[in-house]
Each structure stands twice: as structure tokens, then as C-alpha cells.
Amino acid sequence: TIFAYGTSGSGKTFTMQGDRKSEGITQLICKKLFERIQEVQEHKQFKVKFSYVEIYNEQIRDLIQQGYSSNTKKQTQNLELREDPVKGTILANVTEVQIANCEQIQNLIDFGNKNRTVDATTLNSLSSRSHAVVQIHIQYKDINQGIYESTQFSTLTLVDLAGSEKSGVSSNQ
């Protein structure tokens, strides 16, 4: 898990997501992940899934849910945290998209960013007022183990926190 923490305008989102010219932590991790999958794919079978949510006013919203758009003000349901006996804490009913490359992740991030809650503050004209949580879920198993194969689960969580300043300093709502 990686958290980006700081005041509005300090570069948290850029550090995590970069842009089309400069890669952020998310893109760099994605590259390494798929390079590693290529190296071991003869012996292991992988599924990689992606989810993207925001936490705003104590509500968890799916940013890549089909049909959701902040422009139409269509609200998604508040997602709930649940305990899974195998995977641990999960978000019930979150959209998980199976991905095969980094470009798919970038496209989903771009789509999700259009749905994030933003508002102008004195520190940043397009300040995100929410915490953004990217999760990359990796499922893998050794393909040579036969009937005794066990599936392993890993989740990489990348969190872009909202500005850390007091609301009076940034004049946010």
C-alpha cells in the first residue's frame, strides 16, 4: 500500500498518476508487474483486475462503474466494506475490470478521474476533495502443480489522499 499525503497543489496526484508525458508511481508499478508476469508466464497463470473508487464525505463510490458520470450527476450506490474469508477486507459490488496491459489501466484511470469530486479552493482551482483508491488485484497459481494447485491473491493499493490542510486554510466546502 502506498499513500500520497500533503496539502492541495503539492503534487500528490501527479506523483501517483503522472500524465501522458511523465509516468507516475501507478504506471511504473504497472510496467514492472507486467514485465514480471512475462518472465514467469511459462510456470504461472495470472489474472490481474483493476478497481478505482473515491472516498468522499464518508461514502465510497465506484469511479469506473458502467453508466456513471459526474456530469449527469447520476449517483452510484455507496459501496460497503465486507470480510472475505480468503481475500480479507473487500468492497462489495465494486467494479473489477480484468486487464492485460498498462494502457488499459491508464484508460480506466482517465475515465475514473472524470468522475472524481473536485472543487475550487484557494490553493488549487481543480482540487480533488476526495481520497482516490486504485487497487490492482493479482491472482496467480503455479500451472505445474496439478490438482493440488493453490491460488494466491495479492492486492496493491495506491491511495491519493485529499489535501491535508484544514478546511479554513483552503476555503473548501
The response to whether 69 counts as a known ligand-binding position is no
The response to whether 11 counts as a known ligand-binding position is yes
The response to whether 87 counts as a known ligand-binding position is no
Cα–Cα distance, 162 to 105 (Å, whole number): 21
Q: pLDDT digit string (tens) for 92-138?
A: 999 999 999 999 999 999 999 988 887 655 454 455 678 999 999 99
Residue ranges per structural domain of the chain:
2-167
The response to whether 1 counts as a known ligand-binding position is no
User: If one looks up domain 2-167 in CATH, what number appears?
Assistant: 3.40.850.10
pLDDT of residue 172: 46
The response to whether 10 counts as a known ligand-binding position is yes
Q: pLDDT digit string (tens) for 21-62?
A: 899 999 999 999 999 999 998 889 999 999 999 999 889 999
The response to whether 9 counts as a known ligand-binding position is yes
Confidence of residue 170 (pLDDT cuts 50, 70, 90): very low
